[in-house]
Amino acid sequence: MRNKKPLIGLILLIASLVAFLWLGLRFSAIAGAIDQNTASWWQYLPLVLRQYSSTQTPTPVVPTPVGPVGGTFTSLAVDPNQNDNIYAGHFGSGVYKSFDQGNTWYAKSNGLGNRTIQSLAAHPTNTDIVYAGTYGGGVYKSISAGESWFASNGGVLRNHIIYDIEIDPTNTNRIYVTTRIGGNHAGYVYKSTNAGASWSLLIKGNFYNSPDYFYDIEIDPFNSNVLYLSSHEHGFYKSTNAGQSFYEINYGVTDLSARSMTTDTAHSGLVYGGVWHGSGIYRSWTGGSGWTQNSYGLPIDVRIMDTYVDPFGRMQKRVFSCTYGNGLYSSDDFAQNWVSRGLTGQRIYDLLITDGNPQRWYAATETNGIFRSNTYGANWNTIMADLNLNAITSLAGDGSHQYAAVFGKGVYQLEQGGFSWSEIVPPLEDKMVLDLAIVDDSVIILTDTGLYLQSGEGFLRLDFPTSNSVPDLETSTQLSEKVGVPPEMLQMRMNLSENQEPEHGFFVTPHKLEVFDSKIYLLTLDDGLYLRVDDGWEQVGFAGMNAAALGWDEKGGSMLASVCGQGDSCMAFYHAGDEWLPADQGLDGSRINDFLFTGGDLIAAAETGIFVWEGDSQTWVRAYISSEPMLSLTQSDCNLAAGGVGMLIYSSDCGKTWEQVTLGDPWHYQALVFVSGKPGRLILGTREIGASLIDVK
């Protein structure tokens, strides 16, 4: 008979090892949870008893894109050896490439540390080399036809806005860029002689009476040492020594709001310049030594974004004007007369023509994506495929109706579980929608120039309160972070709007809309918080500051506000009686971006996580720690969701515990809503890539 003692001993040993391993893993999990949540409870223990937990384990989810196609594209470029291959720069989500004339597009942003693209330039002969200029991240270069990118800033351009990139066709190692640094109005012109490996400063825009920056630089096709420069509010400049010095060339120019210059490759000295403040196009036959205005046929008060000469014409080349809001115009007689080439109403940032029979014309527009014409402008087609890249600025629902605010495209009603989007009827003429709310089955809409109340079969427009300050570039930059359009365009749109110069000052710059107890509150940048009273507005706090968010603690009967001043310093306040008192305890200086009253608690999405307001102790309790800013909140019964930068967190128990949903790229999920009748289904609205649907349970 075999001895069973060794077998029994082996079984006991295995059982002991399993128990030891289980206890070790359990202890590690508990220790990890304690360590992870230490900051969320120990410092508040004397004040509160409630504790919250968070689950950091990412749950992989692939969202499904929905919503209208579009997006703001700032720049275009073409492969010099295969003109079916087109590059397009999007102001938010990077570089896209098409291999079939724009019918299909592929994201090509691997290695881009900044995906807010402001300019593109393709090497004139080498298929593999492309440059991308970013908004605030300097220059990137690809030597693999866009498959991968690396910074090409030479240690000096890494935080620069790159308005234009020009490659010298006679010496492709020589490159020029026009730039600016955020917060500074003085621009720069830099030059590289080694294909972007290093850069040297040529000129800085601090020699004027007031600092100014430069949009466009052009290289003379007959002499590459001759450069032309467009200065934002100081007209046109020229260099004859490859940028060592520049001098003014504004004789005959009465409108100095220069935006673009272009040279004619068939006639030496023939130059065209476009301006912003209504004069249209100027022409010079003498390299800029004298100009004449040539705008017959252009709209009155036209704003020129870009000028462009057909690179494939012969001696009498066609010249184009890309306008902001009036579409495309061209001239076949050296700018003597202009005719419309379609795209009426579009704000065109860039134009590209590729050779062929017929030619193919491409236009990059603000909020409406990319268009192509094979009929010399007689007809245009959107070639965005399924790219829905517009900023979703707000999502709202009342149980029976759900709506989305799409900046630049208006307000859409959502149906079929969020898959079907249709613009509201009648459509709102002002498409620049910042926020919306639903009150008693009526929609209230906030745009950058007015507030609209649904009334009968239409909308009643309310003007904003007035301010003594002119909307400046810094203010526009803050708004740009929500709407995905260059700050310069927002500033000029607001300053030049026919409704922006009332009799006593400028209108305020709107940011958000909130409605509590049928009272309408307007949150502004630089001018604080306003309440709609009778037929006017009353300022109710924070003059000279940015009202970031507003919430209502129904349980405590108090309003709370998140407000920011200069230098990004932010605080929270609660309203007590007739005054606002600090409500920062527990926030550790974290800015609140959104509030949500769940029916039991007021919670806040902040820069460092999710917080719950304890009204009795007037303290914020951290419910979830986040390494990235949290931007938005939404609720359906006890299901809560919060959107952040590159992530979503979800709670199915009224906020007691949270689970992280990893969404990949660092998009800004700034608007959320649960789909009516679809438990666990969310619509995510971003600044960069439109909207998408996910199921979180």
pLDDT in tens, 100-134: 999 999 999 999 999 999 999 999 999 999 999 99
The conformational region for residue 54 under phi > 0 = left, psi -120 to 50 = alpha, else beta, is beta
> Burial of 588 by CB count in 10 Å (0-12 exposed, 13-18 middle, 19+ buried)?
middle
Label the pairing between strands 175-181 and 188-192. Answer: antiparallel
Superfamily of domain 213-354: YVTN repeat-like/Quinoprotein amine dehydrogenase (2.130.10.10)
* Bridge partners, residue 610, by sequence: 605, 624
* % of residues, the chain, pLDDT over 70: 90
69-193+371-387 placed in CATH 2.130.10.10: yes
* % of residues, the chain, pLDDT over 90: 77
Extract the tokens encoding 499.
């409704």
* 281-284 β-sheet, strand order: 258-263, 271-275, 281-284, 292-293
pLDDT value at residue 46:
33
Residue 20 has a CB neighbour count (10 Å cut-off) of 10
Confidence of residue 31 (pLDDT cuts 50, 70, 90): very low
Which uninterrupted H or E stretch holds 32? helix 5-41
For 275, residues 6+ apart whose C-beta sits below 8 A from its C-beta are 253, 255, 256, 257, 258, 259, 281, 282, 304
Q: How far apart are CA 317 and CA 307, in angstroms?
A: 13
pLDDT value at residue 496:
58
The more confident residue out of 12 and 380 is 380
pLDDT at residue 20 is higher than 60: no
Confidence of residue 58 (pLDDT cuts 50, 70, 90): low
Determine the straight-line distance between the first and last CA of the chain, rounded to whole angstroms.
58
Q: Where are the beta strands (DSSP E) in 491-644?
A: 506-507, 509-516, 519-525, 529-533, 536-541, 546-553, 558-564, 570-576, 579-582, 592-597, 602-606, 609-614, 619-625, 630-636, 639-644
Q: How far apart are CA 30 and CA 296, in angstroms?
A: 77
What digits encode the pLDDT tens for the residues 134-191? 999 999 999 999 999 999 999 999 999 999 999 999 999 999 999 999 989 999 999 9
For residue 628, CA distances in Å to 607, 608, 651, 696 come to: 7, 7, 18, 20
Crossing angle of the two packed helices 487-496 and 473-483, in degrees rounded to 10: 110
pLDDT value at residue 62:
76
Write out the DSSP string of 223-262: -TT-EEEEETTTEEEEESSTTS--EE--TT-----EEEEE
CATH code of 55-63+390-695, in short, is 2.130.10.10
**Residues 132, 88 contacting (CB under 8 angstroms):** no
Lowest mean pLDDT among 46-55, 240-249, 448-457, 634-643: 46-55
Confidence of residue 474 (pLDDT cuts 50, 70, 90): confident
For 476, residues 6+ apart whose C-beta sits below 8 A from its C-beta are 487, 488, 490, 491, 494, 509
**Residues 586, 622 contacting (CB under 8 angstroms):** yes
Write out the DSSP string of 339-372: EE-S-TT-BEEEEEEE-SSS-EEEEEESSB-EEE
Torsion from C-alpha of 142, 63, 433, 277, nearest 10 degrees: 10
Rounded to an integer, what is the distance from CA 175 to the centroid of its chain? 28
For 515, residues 6+ apart whose C-beta sits below 8 A from its C-beta are 437, 439, 444, 521
Q: How far apart are CA 142 and CA 599, in angstroms?
A: 52
Closest alpha carbon to 680 in 632, 635, 643, 630: 635
pLDDT at residue 32 is higher than 70: no
What digits encode the pLDDT tens for the residues 586-620? 998 889 999 999 999 999 999 999 999 999 899 99
pLDDT value at residue 650:
94
**Residues 494, 524 contacting (CB under 8 angstroms):** no
pLDDT at residue 659 is higher than 70: yes
Which uninterrupted H or E stretch holds 692? strand 691-695
Confidence of residue 440 (pLDDT cuts 50, 70, 90): confident
pLDDT at residue 566 is higher than 80: no
pTM for the predicted model, two decimal places: 0.90
User: Mean pLDDT of all residues in the chain?
Assistant: 89
Question: Average pLDDT in the 552-571 region?
Answer: 89
Closest alpha carbon to 669 in 637, 638, 645: 645
The more confident residue out of 86 and 15 is 86
555: three-class secondary structure by DSSP = coil
pLDDT at residue 3 is higher than 60: no
For 687, residues 6+ apart whose C-beta sits below 8 A from its C-beta are 92, 391, 392, 481, 482, 483, 484, 667, 668, 670
For 680, residues 6+ apart whose C-beta sits below 8 A from its C-beta are 639, 674, 695, 696, 697
Extract the tokens encoding 595.
């509030």
pLDDT value at residue 690:
97
Extract the tokens encoding 64.
């499904």
Label the pairing between strands 506-507 and 509-516. Answer: unpaired
pLDDT value at residue 506:
81
Q: How far apart are CA 322 and CA 215, in angstroms?
A: 15
Closest alpha carbon to 614 in 170, 15, 158, 47: 47
Q: Which DSSP letter does residue 495 get?
A: H
**Residues 102, 372 contacting (CB under 8 angstroms):** yes
**Residues 347, 365 contacting (CB under 8 angstroms):** yes
Rounded to an integer, what is the distance from CA 219 to the centroid of its chain? 31
pLDDT at residue 67 is higher than 90: yes
Which uninterrupted H or E stretch holds 330? strand 328-331
What digits encode the pLDDT tens for the residues 78-100? 999 999 999 999 999 999 999 99
Q: Could you give phi then psi for residue 303, rounded to 5 degrees?
A: -110, 115
Which uninterrupted H or E stretch holds 412? strand 410-415
* 647-651 β-sheet, strand order: 53-55, 657-662, 647-651, 639-644, 630-636
Residue 525 has a CB neighbour count (10 Å cut-off) of 23
Please, where in the chain does CATH 2.130.10.10 lie? Answer: 55-63+390-695, 69-193+371-387, 213-354
What digits encode the pLDDT tens for the residues 353-376? 999 889 999 999 999 999 999 999
> Burial of 400 by CB count in 10 Å (0-12 exposed, 13-18 middle, 19+ buried)?
exposed
Which uninterrupted H or E stretch holds 6? helix 5-41
Sequence-ordered alpha helix ranges (H) in 448-552 = 473-483, 487-496
What digits encode the pLDDT tens for the residues 179-191? 999 989 999 999 9
Closest alpha carbon to 657 in 608, 612, 602: 612
**Residues 91, 485 contacting (CB under 8 angstroms):** yes
* Bridge partners, residue 272, by sequence: 262, 283
Which uninterrupted H or E stretch holds 11? helix 5-41
Confidence of residue 37 (pLDDT cuts 50, 70, 90): very low
